Amino acid sequence: MDLKLVHTRAELAAAREKLGRLALVPTMGALHEGHRSLIRIARERADHVAVSIFVNPLQFGPNEDFARYPRTLDADVEVCAAEGVALVFAPSAEEMYAADRSVTVSAGPMGDVHEGAFRPGHFDGVLTVVLKLFNLVRPDVAVFGQKDAQQLAMIRRMVADLDVPVEIVGAPTVREPDGLAMSSRNRYLSAEDRAVALALSRALHEGAKHARPAEILTAARAVLDAAGPALSVDYLILVDPETFTEVSDDHRGEAVLAVAARVGGTRLIDNVPLSLG
């Protein structure tokens, strides 16, 4: 089936009608190998895959990178075509948001901690656009990367709390050969920044060698500290994957070791899922 690129709600509704069981991969474009892996996982879950490409103004703070976020629609559509995507929805901001809009989704307390504490309002913006995309595309399944672990947890929470009839699938983080987690923001990094940025994945790797929460955090922190002042750490946390509350030192079971840091002008996040026995 040939890929259909649509920009309006009306075009989307007409195209959606012709597709059966549909998996949605919501993105902000600048597609890379990580997105390709989400699309491949989506293909296994449904008859057809839709990809949305929309740089959502609601989830960027006033001093964040909304204006310079990479917009590469032609290249993105080529990636989607190569991956067998049936439908790409690439709306304008005006198509997504009415000028007089006033109701948004509130992320609740989980939206105020960790990533949310450094990016106030970010998760309200993410959940608002994701719910709108679900309502417009009407997917059966939606696939999100585990790299944005708190985002994934919040989307699961929204779907459960608001009874949204979409199955949420989390997909493993894809890394460069040297360990750097793939991200559309990696293209902002200079060669020097990129070398410093490797401390994030190394810290997670070192932390994951340990069994007790305190040891995990100490080992990971030592790697981040060794990177020196070029790396400015926002947070390093070991949390419950569903609630994003920090785990106690006698915690057994699933946990997520997550880090956020700034390198040069670029803010990066990364995490690893851990099973503590």
Q: Which is nearer to ligand PAF, 130 or 261 (CB)?
A: 130
Instruction: Quote the CA–CA distance of 250 and 139 in Å, as a whole number.
Output: 40
Smallest distance, ligand PAF to C-beta of residue 144, A? 6
Active site residue 205: no
Asked if 171 is part of the footprint of ligand PAF (rule: CB under 6 A), the reply reads no
| 238 CB-near residues (< 8 Å, 6+ apart) | 207, 213, 216, 217, 246, 247, 251, 255, 256, 257, 258, 274
31 marked among binding-site residues: yes
Smallest distance, ligand PAF to C-beta of residue 25, A? 9
Site string for ligand PAF, 31-70 (x = CB under 6 A): -------------------------x--x-----------
Q: Which is nearer to ligand PAF, 91 or 207 (CB)?
A: 91
CB 173 within 8 A of CB 270: yes
CB 267 within 8 A of CB 243: no
Instruction: Quote the CA–CA distance of 199 and 230 in Å, as a whole number.
Output: 11
Measured between alpha carbons, how far is residue 266 from residues 59, 205, 253 in Å?
Answer: 16, 21, 33
154 marked among binding-site residues: no
Region from 20-28, 43-51, 157-165, 253-261 binding ligand PAF, contact rule CB under 6 A:
20-28
| 36 CB-near residues (< 8 Å, 6+ apart) | 79, 83
Q: Which is nearer to ligand PAF, 131 or 217 (CB)?
A: 131
Instruction: Quote the CA–CA distance of 215 and 220 in Å, as a whole number.
Output: 8
Give the footprint of ligand PAF on residues 135-154 (CB under 6 A). Answer: 148, 151
96 marked among binding-site residues: no
Q: Which two tokens stand for residue 29?
A: 């474009």
185 marked among binding-site residues: yes
Site string for ligand PAF, 76-115 (x = CB under 6 A): ----------------------------------------
Residue type (1 letter), 191: A
How many residues are present in the chain?
277
Widest distance between CA atoms in the chain? 55
Asked if 26 is part of the footprint of ligand PAF (rule: CB under 6 A), the reply reads yes
221 marked among binding-site residues: no
Asked if 28 is part of the footprint of ligand PAF (rule: CB under 6 A), the reply reads yes
184 marked among binding-site residues: yes
Asked if 158 is part of the footprint of ligand PAF (rule: CB under 6 A), the reply reads no
Smallest distance, ligand PAF to C-beta of residue 204, A? 19
Which amino acids are annotated as binding site for beta-alanine, given as ranges? Answer: 59
Q: Which residues are the active-site residues?
A: 35
